[in-house]
Chain A
Amino acid sequence: MEFLNSIFVKPFADMVGAPDFLLQVLWEGLVAGVLYALIALGFVLIYKSSRIFNFAQGIMVVFAALTLVGFHEKGVPALLAVPLTLLVMFILAVAIERAVLRPLVNQPDLILFMATIGITLFLIGFGEIIFGGENKVMITEQLYIPTGSFEFEPFGGFVSIEQKDLTAVIGAVLLVVGLLVFLNRSKMGRAIRALGDDHQAALSVGISLSTIWVLVWFIAGVIALATGIVWGARAGVSFALEVIAFKALPVLMLGGLESVLGAIVGGLAIGVLEKLFEIYWGQPLLGGNTETWFAFVLALVVLLFRPQGLFGEKIIERV
């Protein structure tokens, strides 16, 4: 009885008992969710257009953030460092397309997936040689990102909302809207979607595969930079950031590998749910740190009932 009570009653009583704390938990979950969604978005874009499960998205986040900070350390003004970093990400996209994707065209999915793990290792070694291993500070203030915090006092408690988190959420929304407009309205964007729908048909109407691949990897690079700035502002920039790539995987499972909308909704849902579970069930009952697996198990359970994910295309993954 005591046990059932601690699972089904007490957590909810705690939530109602301290509503300000609950709000804080939800906000923290939401911010984490936005970041998961951003990384997942990078995965989805590349998967949609080239069927590559790009494991290197995580290291691209680190690489972009380190390049930005690295330029700034060399004395480049922050606002100039951003376009320069984008240029580096573009060169990286071209290099990946030339050196890795082109020779591997038409190989099975698994081979391409392994190749992106190869890219990950290569970039880790390369990045550490160039930037060194130490933890760096994201140039938050120089990029005019506010660093204060708003404080509210609802229900007699307090909720603090970091301005940089708020900026992150707004920035992410703008980025996603811009991306959707690009994908749906521009010629290039439509070409990307066409390639995702039917490779052969897209090629036959004259869409250039290599151009699109460079473009897609570049967009993934832009998203990586945005993610790197936001996450770096929260916790500093170092190679330990690379592990957040794993966080995006259950998001993909839940949202479907193909769906931009799925990545966003899945990311937010996982961010909020894992935080709630950790605070109200994980820490009191299971010894904490459940965030490492909760999202995966949740996604696994959902998949058992909806094998294509919440937003995935039904036809492809039916057994």
Chain B
Amino acid sequence: MLYRTVGQFKTSYHADHALFPVKQDAWLLGLILLLAFVVLPATANEFVFKALLIPVLIYALASLGLNILTGYAGQLSLGTGAFMGVGAYACYKLITIFPEMNIVVAIALSGFFSAAVGMAFGLPSLRIKGFYLAIATLAAQFFLVWLFEKWAWLYNYNSSGAIQVPTLTMFGIPVVGPNATAIVQYYFVLVVVCLITWFSINITRGRIGRIWKAVRDMDIAAELVGINLMKAKLSAFAVSSYIVGIAGALFVFLWRGAAEPVLFDIQLSFRVLFIVIIGGMGSILGNYLGAILIVALPVIISAVPRAFGLPIGSAMAEHLNTMIVGATIIGFLILEPHGLARLWAIAREKLIIWPFPH
């Protein structure tokens, strides 16, 4: 009933390909934005900001970046963590070399560094594909993390080898660093994430996005119809790494506050990949659903036994958590290999034709 499309008809091709062919979708998005911009900030406490909302947004952004590469352009990458690291270290160097630089500018610029590095490591994709390419991106993963460790210039020769985020302000309000309040950081991340999502939705719908999809579905056919594979693949690597780099900069500057190289380890790459797979490849919405699930799951698992008053050691909870995350991944893959986004798509279809399914 809620999703009835009666009375909504299109008279042009353009209208049919609009962002929201069904009016209710626009309403729903408006509702979610209202929730994100008004309701949640008004109700959440600091723990919820720091442990749930901000990480969900940042992970969703990183996953969005990977999804463009893997879900839209069909190039599997296991180096996301390292590319996030490039963004974070670039932002750190920019901030420390030019202390007057606005944080927004620094973050936006740091994406270009990761885009360049991403393109360099994307070059092998012109020769190899599939799992071979995935392992090749692991070369980036391990090499870059090693570089973060060894290249002392990157962390300004700190004796600890870690980077610390200084306090930075915008309009007199601390945005980054230990003095910034969680709600300010949340809004900052939310705005960045919204902008990039809007950009991504449009780029994946447009000419470039269609080229990527053609390459993903059948590269030889794409080449035959005149698509330049090199341009297509490298542009996917560039855009994807740009977004991933920004996610990395946000990850350290707006959330963690300090970073050591091991933070950008392969585990981070895998976590982002989980989000992509569970959320749904080739879907923008999926990134958010996947991120919510992956971030919230451990929090729930550790809270549920306590809620029922079961005495459970912290170690046991952690072991169970690892086990359940593993089982959930398998379960989701069996249940719906195309991810949460597909589940939503199916539900939406049903709602549209409800209550007469035939």
Q: Consider the complex of A and B and state whether they touch directly, i.e. have CB atoms less than 8 Å apart.
A: yes
A residues near B (Cβ < 8 Å) are 53, 99-100, 103-104, 107-111, 113-115, 117-126, 128-129, 133, 246, 249-250, 252-253, 257, 286-287, 289-290, 292-293, 296-297, 299-300, 303-304, 307, 309, 317, 319
Are B149 and A114 neighbours in the complex by a CB distance under 8 Å? no
Q: Assess the A103–B277 pair: CB atoms within 8 A.
A: no
Q: Which DSSP category, helix, strand, loop or mixed, fits chain A's interface?
A: helix
B132 contacts across to A, CB distance below 8 A: 253, 257, 303, 307, 309, 317
Q: Nearest Cβ in chain A — how far from B258, in angstroms?
A: 22
Contacts of B146 in A (CB 8 A): 289-290, 292-293
Among B22-30, B92-100, B177-185, B330-338, the one that faces the other chain is B330-338
Measured between alpha carbons, how far is A153 from B124 in the docked complex, in Å?
Answer: 46
| Shortest distance from the beta carbon of A10 to any chain B beta carbon, whole Å | 20
Residue B270 at the A interface, CB < 8 A?
Answer: yes
Task: Taking A118-B329, A292-B146, A317-B128 as given, write out 14 further A-B residue pairs in contact, using a Cβ cutoff of 8 Å, ordered by the A residue number.
Answer: A111-B277, A114-B277, A115-B330, A115-B333, A118-B327, A121-B323, A125-B320, A125-B322, A126-B319, A253-B136, A289-B146, A300-B136, A304-B124, A319-B229
Q: Which residues 219-234 of B have a CB within 8 angstroms of A?
A: 219, 229
- A319 in contact with B266 (CB, 8 Å): no
Contact between chains at A307 and B127 (CB < 8 Å): yes
Mark the stretch among B13-21, B58-66, B137-145, B195-203 that contacts chain A.
B137-145
Tell yes or no: B285 within 8 A of A by CB.
Answer: no
Interface string of B274-306 (1 = CB under 8 A from A): 100100010000000000000000000000000
B143 with A296: CB separation less than 8 A? yes
- B residues less than 8 Å from A113 (CB atoms): 131
Name B319's contact: one of A53, A103, A129, A309 (CB within 8 Å): A129
CA distance A119 to B325 in the complex (A): 10
Which of B76, B129, B319, B321 is the most central at the interface, judged by chain A CB atoms within 10 Å of its CB? B319
Asked if A111 and B139 make an inter-chain contact with CB atoms under 8 angstroms apart, the answer reads: no
**What residues of B have a CB within 8 angstroms of the CB of A120 in the complex?**
326
Q: Judging by beta carbons under 8 Å apart, are B129 and A129 in contact? A: no
Verify A117–B143 contact, CB threshold 8 A: no
Counting chain B residues whose Cβ lies within 8 A of the other chain, the interface size class is 35 or more
B-side contacts of A53, CB under 8 Å: 131
Closest 5 CB pairs of A and B: A121-B326, A125-B323, A122-B326, A125-B322, A296-B139
Rounded to whole Å, the gap between the CB of B294 and the closest CB of chain A is: 12
> Are A304 and B150 also in contact (CB < 8 A) when A115-B329, A124-B322, A296-B138 are?
no
Q: How far is the CB of B155 from chain A (nearest CB, A)?
A: 14
B323 near A118 (CB under 8 angstroms)? Answer: no
A110 pairs with B319, CB closer than 8 A: no
Pair A317/B143 contact, Cβ less than 8 Å: no
Q: Which residues of B contact A319 (CB under 8 A)?
A: 126-129, 219, 229
Q: Known: A107-B337, A110-B76. Contact between A304 and B127, CB under 8 A?
A: yes
Chain B residues with Cβ under 8 A from A111's Cβ?
Answer: 277, 333, 337
**Any chain A CB within 8 A of the CB of B135?**
yes
Residues of B within 8 A of A114 (CB): 273-274, 277, 329, 333
Contact of A293 with B124 in the complex, beta carbons under 8 Å: no
Given the complex of chains A and B, what is the CA–CA distance between A110 and B273 in angstroms? 11
- Knowing A114-B274, A122-B323, A122-B326, the reply to whether A303 touches B127 (Cβ < 8 A) is yes
* Least CB separation from A250: chain B residue: B135
Q: Is the CB of B142 within 8 A of A296?
A: yes
- Closest partner residue, chain B, to A96 (CB atom): B330
A262 to chain B, nearest CB (A): 13
Given the known A-B contacts A292-B142, A317-B130, A317-B132, are A118 and B330 also in contact in the complex, defined by CB atoms under 8 Å?
Answer: yes
28 A-B residue pairings within 8 Å (CB atoms): A104-B334, A107-B333, A108-B337, A110-B281, A111-B337, A117-B274, A118-B326, A118-B330, A122-B323, A124-B322, A124-B326, A125-B321, A125-B325, A125-B326, A246-B138, A253-B135, A253-B136, A289-B146, A292-B142, A293-B143, A293-B146, A296-B136, A296-B142, A303-B124, A307-B127, A317-B130, A319-B126, A319-B127
